Amino acid sequence: EDEQRALEAALAIDQRNFTAHLRMTELHQRRGREVEAAQGWSGIVQMAAAMPDRPPAVDDALARGRAFLADHTERLGREIDGALGDAVSRRMAACVDHMLGRRAIYANQCAGVHFPFLPADEYFERSLFPWFAALEARTAAIRDEALALLRDGSDAIRPYVRQAAGTPANRWSGLDGNADWSACFLWEYGVRNDAVCARCPETAAALAAVPQSDIPGKAPTAFFSILRPHAHIPAHTGVTNTRASRRRRESGIGPARRAADARSPAYW
């Protein structure tokens, strides 16, 4: 008790005293006070990580704190998962996972029109799209038509990123006019490319069979997206939250990391 009182007195003088916080946290851990130790290590980790030039002793405290918190969070997660079981709702599961640092929450980040008060769902449930199965049944035919366009070197295939002359350097500059990421549009901003649709009748028919928005000058848009091996698309979000993008991987080798957001890995 004398040690705790001495540390409390030191902290009462200066709450920024790193050594006092560290010793108090170590004391809680030795005495088996898991919650207090976790709170203490969380503060230690934040303080140490913010130090520009850390001495070895602080680096050691940072490593020990991160290890303790990782173990504590894992054990806490197992307890919560066991208590909640399989009946927990999708939203509650996401809340718990975010609280435990097991997932990020992806809010709408629109580059253009943001329509307020819409449900900010990250990934829509498949059950909302009963036509998926019929579209997926055409996968082989769609892939064959896309590969034929590539083999024939169609002039309809062009770089996806095309910036106006004089655009300042930005994260898309490396792909500007670059065929590392190309596209061949069947529909573009509400205009049907009759020549491409004629060359890809199965794909055109598949698109015609699914619900589409019809906004002159805006929608629908549908295209083959062609990414060369080892090419990288910067993480990005959509123009508006009033539409949902559907990407289907038709051909390729190995995993493809999604480009929507790089905060946590997901693969198609």
Q: Where are the domains of the chain?
A: 2-99, 108-268
Domain 108-268: give its CATH architecture: Sandwich (2.60)
CA 225 vs CA 120, 168, 251, 258: distances in Å: 26, 25, 10, 13
Tokens of 93: 């599961």
Does 2-99 match 108-268 in CATH topology? no
What are the pLDDT digits (tens) for 181-227? 999 999 999 999 999 999 999 999 999 999 988 999 999 999 999 99
Domain 2-99: give its CATH architecture: Alpha Horseshoe (1.25)
The pTM assigned to this predicted structure is 0.71
Cis previous bond, 234, omega within 30: no
Of 116-130, 174-188, 249-263, the least confident: 249-263
